[in-house]
Amino acid sequence: MTPETFKSLLSGYRTGSLSPAEQQQLMALLHDPAWREQLESLFTEDLSATEFPVNAGKEELDLVYEQVKLQTAEAKLLTFRPMRWAAAAVAVLAIGIGGYYLSSMPAKLNGDAISNVEQKGEHILPGGNKAVLTLSDGSQIELDDMANGEIAKESGVKITKTADGRLLYTVREGLAHVKPAFNTISTPRGGQYQVALPDGTMVWLNAASSLKYPSSFTGKDRLVALTGEAYFEVAKDKKRPFKVKTEQQEVEVLGTHFNINAYDDEEVVKTTLIEGSVKVKLPSNKSAVLKPGQQSVVLNDIKVNQVDANSAIDWKQGLFWFNDESIYSIMRQFSRWYNIEVEYRGDVRNVRFGGQVSRMKNLAQVLRIMELTKSIQFKVEGNKIIVMPYELSTQNQTK
d(CA 378, CA 399): 17
The neighbouring-strand residues paired with 278 are 253, 290
Q: How far, in whole angstroms, is CA 197 from its chain's centroid?
A: 25
Give residue 338's pLDDT. Answer: 96
For 56-66+73-124+311-399, give the CATH class. Answer: alpha beta
Nearest one of 11, 62, 119, 83 to 373, comparing CA atoms: 83
Give residue 19's pLDDT. Answer: 73
- Preceding amide of 53 cis, omega within 30: yes
Give residue 371's pLDDT. Answer: 85
Determine which of 5-14, 50-59, 102-111, 232-241 has the lowest per-residue pLDDT on average: 102-111
Q: How far, in whole angstroms, is CA 2 from its chain's centroid?
A: 37
The yes-or-no verdict on residue 329 having pLDDT over 80 is: yes
Q: Output 373 or 100, whichever has higher pLDDT.
A: 373
296 neighbors 309 (Cβ within 8 angstroms) = no
Q: What is the mean pLDDT of residues 99-109?
A: 33
d(CA 17, CA 26): 13
Region(s) of the chain under CATH 2.60.120.1440 = 128-310
The yes-or-no verdict on residue 241 having pLDDT over 80 is: yes
Determine which of 13-17, 50-54, 128-132 has the lowest per-residue pLDDT on average: 50-54
pTM higher than 0.75: no
Fill in the amino acid letter for 173. E
pLDDT of 331-388, one tens digit each? 999 999 999 999 999 999 988 888 778 898 889 888 888 887 788 899 999 999 999 9
The yes-or-no verdict on residue 286 having pLDDT over 60 is: yes
d(CA 53, CA 42): 12
d(CA 32, CA 376): 29
Determine which of 7-21, 31-45, 187-201, 295-309 has the lowest per-residue pLDDT on average: 31-45
The yes-or-no verdict on residue 14 having pLDDT over 60 is: no
d(CA 206, CA 229): 5
d(CA 224, CA 243): 6
128-310 in CATH: which number?
2.60.120.1440
11, HSE (Cβ side, Cα atoms, 13 Å): 14
Region(s) of the chain under CATH 3.55.50.30 = 56-66+73-124+311-399
